[in-house]
């Protein structure tokens, strides 16, 4: 078991209060399946297990799934008909992209029990009526809970009749031109940036075409770290010939998106992994890592994820291997790259983004 109790944040506290009120008003729900989706702190799962509820878990993040595993055991990476079958209560926190709620609400309405209640919580300052409109497409009854701890839950009931295996507009589709190649992009709901071409990624791929590192040889193992919608993996597959190309992401949604983008472009032979950082890759096993690090965790700005990924790149790079990174100029990552990976120099820059190359020189970097 975990050595310490999960510490709920304000969204958790609000959802726990609303859940207690809901189960008091409708006690029959205690005997019916509950699905907890993307529990950020572990507090929701611990609450459900302490009350001996028939609970199932879905966790998009490989890192959080591993962190919560001592309490939850193995969890599903994405909602499926099997996980949602018969569910009477589904609880989650609202993610930033409307596409995420569009996908999840359809899945709940399509596969859960007819009496299902979907509770989706967020801080009040991040709520908008756009979320209500998304829910109203697939549920006949949408309302808001009382506010607690500066947070509130949207409640959706009475699912509309739906057919099909996937939401009509998921994955999102887009066609772009990058470094002279036309790419068909695909994105599931929780994938950061959806199916859009990230301008930093565009600069990175253009730079790789004009300034390829000498380590990018036909014998190289290359990793797209944080593959998102698959733009980098697909761009690399089109422009370079390497022994092994790996695309990996902490998000199960991103892994689905990368896989769909590769398929849409007729690209075979790329290994796509769902993992936290590069946990499944051995030390000193990679020649080139390509990275466009996120600087958001939910609604919060953070550098912690980027620093963790820099460390993972340093661990898995062979001596002499390189990390190619693009980042917003305001993030000032170069000193950290220098410290965590090795000698770092700038390859390209535009008004917003910087592309750098960092080389691992010693085994102990």
- For the stretch 260-277, pLDDT in tens is 999 999 999 999 999 999
Q: Is 153 inside any structural domain?
A: yes
One domain for residues 176 and 142: no
One domain for residues 287 and 352: yes
Q: Is 1 inside any structural domain?
A: no
**DSSP-assigned letters across all residues of 33-78:** -EEEES-SSSHHHHHHHHTT--EEEE-SBHHHHHHHHHHH-S-BSS
Residue range(s) defining the domain that contains residue 326: 172-359
Q: What is the percent of the chain with per-residue pLDDT over 90, rounded to a whole number?
A: 91
Supply the pTM of this predicted model.
Answer: 0.94
One domain for residues 190 and 140: no
State the total domains in the chain: 2
Which is higher by pLDDT, 6 or 337?
A: 337
In angstroms, rounded to a whole number, what is the distance separating the alpha carbons of residues 351 and 181?
Answer: 23
Q: Is 164 inside any structural domain?
A: no
One domain for residues 279 and 148: no
What is the pLDDT, as a whole number, of residue 6?
84
Are the C-beta atoms of residues 334 and 161 closer than 8 Å to each other? no
- For the stretch 110-158, pLDDT in tens is 999 999 999 999 999 999 999 999 999 999 999 999 999 999 999 999 9
One domain for residues 239 and 267: yes
| 83, containing H or E segment | helix 81-84
One domain for residues 208 and 340: yes
What is the pLDDT, as a whole number, of residue 33?
98
Tokens of 68: 């919560």
One domain for residues 24 and 154: yes
Per-residue CA distances from 268 to 78, 185, 237, 277, 280 (Å) = 23, 15, 9, 23, 21
Q: What is the length of the chain? A: 365
One domain for residues 106 and 176: no
Q: Is 37 inside any structural domain?
A: yes
One domain for residues 207 and 73: no
Q: Is 257 inside any structural domain?
A: yes
- For the stretch 47-72, pLDDT in tens is 999 999 999 999 999 999 999 999 99
Pairing of strands 296-297, 151-159: unpaired
One domain for residues 181 and 81: no
Collapse the DSSP code of 4 into the 3-class scheme (helix H, G, I; strand E, B; otherwise coil) and give the result: coil
The stretches of 265-327 forming alpha helices (DSSP H) are 304-316
One domain for residues 282 and 329: yes
What's the CATH code of the domain at 201? 3.40.50.150
Long-range pairs for 162-165: beta carbons < 8 A, 24 or more residues apart: 162/106, 162/109, 162/110, 162/138, 164/110
């Amino acid at each position: 078991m975990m050595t310490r109790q999960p510490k709920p944040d304000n969204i958790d506290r609000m959802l726990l209060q609303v859940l207690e009120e809901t189960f008091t008003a409708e006690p029959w729900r205690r005997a019916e399946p509950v699905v907890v989706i993307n529990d950020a702190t572990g507090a929701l799962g611990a609450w459900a297990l302490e009350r001996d509820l028939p609970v199932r878990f879905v966790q998009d993040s490989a890192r959080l799934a591993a962190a919560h595993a001592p309490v939850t055991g193995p969890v599903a990476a994405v909602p499926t008909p099997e996980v949602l079958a018969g569910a009477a209560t589904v609880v989650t926190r609202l993610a930033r992209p409307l596409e995420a709620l569009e996908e999840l609400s359809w899945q709940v309405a399509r596969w859960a029990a007819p009496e299902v209640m979907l509770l989706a919580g967020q801080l009040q300052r991040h709520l908008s009526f756009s979320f209500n409109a998304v829910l109203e497409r697939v549920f006949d009854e949408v309302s808001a809970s009382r506010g607690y701890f500066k947070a509130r839950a949207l409640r959706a009931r009475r699912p509309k009749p739906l057919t099909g295996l996937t939401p009509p507009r998921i994955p999102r589709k887009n066609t772009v031109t990058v470094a002279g190649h036309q790419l068909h992009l695909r994105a599931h709901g929780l994938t950061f940036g959806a199916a859009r071409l990230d301008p930093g990624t565009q600069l990175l791929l253009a730079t790789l075409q004009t300034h390829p590192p000498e380590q990018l040889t036909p014998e190289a193992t290359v990793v797209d770290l944080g593959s998102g919608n698959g733009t980098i993996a697909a761009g690399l597959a089109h422009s370079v010939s390497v022994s092994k190309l790996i695309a990996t992401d902490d998000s199960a949604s991103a892994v689905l998106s990368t896989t769909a983008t590769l398929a849409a472009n007729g690209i075979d032979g790329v290994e796509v992994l769902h993992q936290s950082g590069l946990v499944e890759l051995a030390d000193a096993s990679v020649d080139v890592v390509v990275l466009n690090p996120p600087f958001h965790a939910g609604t919060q700005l953070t550098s912690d994820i980027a620093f963790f990924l820099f460390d993972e790149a340093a661990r898995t790079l062979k001596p002499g291997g390189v990390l190619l990174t693009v980042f917003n100029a305001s993030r000032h990552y170069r000193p950290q790259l220098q410290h965590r990976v090795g000698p770092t120099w700038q390859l390209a820059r535009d008004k917003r983004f910087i592309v750098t190359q960092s080389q691992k020189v010693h085994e102990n970097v």
